[in-house]
């Protein structure tokens, strides 16, 4: 078996792409998108008809003065998500506007709107994960949504404090960003030689996985934002891994044996007390990398959201 096939024996593989053709090629169980991926997909020739149809639907439902570019962006993200779901057996992750990352109530409203749009396309909420930035406000929004049966994927996760708070809130799934963590350490510590054995991004996910499994948290750990196939292989055994088509292709072309890196402990320990808001902010802000990368990630997703909306405005 090639390395991708070996990984699939221990880990659910998720395609990190808005490109349906790429997803179909690697047959993942789930798929995830974000504003950056939707923006890239919107520029591909094969999606132009879908964009036109989406714009026509929006224009038919709203008065011209009521239509915002963000409305058509939401409809497009759901239309692409619904198409992807025809090619995979599992779930699609669709992101709440990053500009709402510090507004709990607005994030909840947007999540419900996205679920309603999926329902209009015949897609039940059991096949959708709502992506929210793992801010304190995003985590609180997810806590409310989970109680409504709307499962969430907490993204832009860089600190152990974020992971703990997500588990306390009963979040369905988290996406720790392996590559972006590694990028920060390599830039900040150029004198250090980093290999997969001491990779800070890989170690971050391993620590979260061990904590969740030791204390019996049900939150799924899905490593994300990989830079190399070696980073992916170093997390074999993780609940899920979301991987770009480029890295999936490399793994598919390699046949070397893949060792299991993560396994559940044999005994569970009593859970620690839930973190308070003050404890969360104190612990998170002790991690300079996490503070910087969370803020940067939200800004960059917002930039791509703005670019997507500017592109879609032409269709209105």
Which of 131, 147, 264, 271 is flagged as catalytic?
131
Neighbours of 175 (CB within 10 A): 29
Cβ-contact 180, 300 below 8 angstroms: no
Report the first-to-last Cα separation within the chain, whole angstroms: 49
Q: What is the C-alpha separation between 199 and 178, in angstroms, rounded?
A: 9
Neighbours of 123 (CB within 10 A): 19
User: Does residue 225 come out as left (phi exceeding 0), alpha (psi in the -120 to 50 range) or beta?
Assistant: left
- Token pair, residue 302, equals 């917002």
Token pair 């999540």: residue: 111
CA angle 209–210–211, rounded 5-degree value? 90
Q: What is the C-alpha separation between 159 and 63, in angstroms, rounded?
A: 44
Q: What is the C-alpha separation between 108 and 100, in angstroms, rounded?
A: 10
Token pair 């992101």: residue: 95
How long a stretch of residues is the chain? 316
* Exposure string over 1-10, b if 16+ CB within 10 A, otherwise e: eebbebbbee
* Catalytic residue list contains 131: yes
Contacts of 269 (CB under 8 A, 6+ apart): 214, 215, 216
> Exposed, middle or buried, 306 (CB in 10 Å: 0-12/13-18/19+)?
middle
User: Does residue 116 come out as left (phi exceeding 0), alpha (psi in the -120 to 50 range) or beta?
Assistant: alpha
**Which active-site residues does the annotation give?**
131
């Amino acid at each position: 078996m090639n390395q991708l096939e070996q990984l699939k024996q221990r880990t659910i593989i998720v395609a990190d792409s808005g490109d349906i053709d790429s997803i179909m090629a690697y047959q993942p169980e789930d798929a995830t998108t974000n504003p950056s991926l939707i923006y890239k997909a919107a520029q591909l020739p094969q999606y132009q008809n879908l964009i036109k149809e989406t714009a026509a639907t929006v224009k038919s439902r709203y008065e011209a003065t009521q239509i915002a570019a963000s409305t058509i962006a939401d409809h497009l993200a759901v239309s692409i998500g619904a198409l992807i779901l025809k090619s995979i057996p599992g779930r699609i992750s669709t992101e709440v506007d990053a500009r709402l990352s510090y507004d709990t109530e607005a994030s909840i409203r947007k999540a419900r709107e996205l679920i309603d749009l999926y329902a209009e396309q015949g897609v039940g909420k059991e096949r959708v994960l709502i992506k929210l930035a793992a801010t304190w406000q995003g985590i609180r929004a997810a806590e409310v949504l989970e109680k409504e049966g709307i499962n969430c994927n907490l993204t832009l996760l860089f600190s152990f404090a974020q992971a703990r708070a997500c588990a306390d809130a009963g979040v369905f799934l988290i996406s720790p960003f392996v590559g972006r963590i590694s990028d920060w350490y390599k830039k900040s510590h150029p004198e250090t030689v980093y290999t997969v054995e001491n990779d800070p991004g890989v170690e971050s996910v391993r620590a979260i996985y061990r904590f969740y499994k030791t204390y019996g948290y049900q939150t799924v750990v899905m490593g994300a934002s990989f830079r190399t196939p070696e980073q992916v292989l170093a997390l074999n055994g993780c609940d899920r891994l979301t991987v770009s088509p480029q890295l999936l292709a490399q793994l598919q072309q390699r046949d070397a044996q893949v060792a299991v890196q993560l396994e559940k402990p044999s005994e569970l320990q009593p859970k620690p007390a839930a973190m308070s808001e003050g404890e969360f902010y104190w612990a998170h802000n002790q991690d300079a990398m996490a503070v910087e990368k969370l803020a940067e990630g939200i800004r960059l997703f917002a930039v791509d959201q703005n670019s997507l909306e500017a592109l879609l405005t032409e269709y209105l």
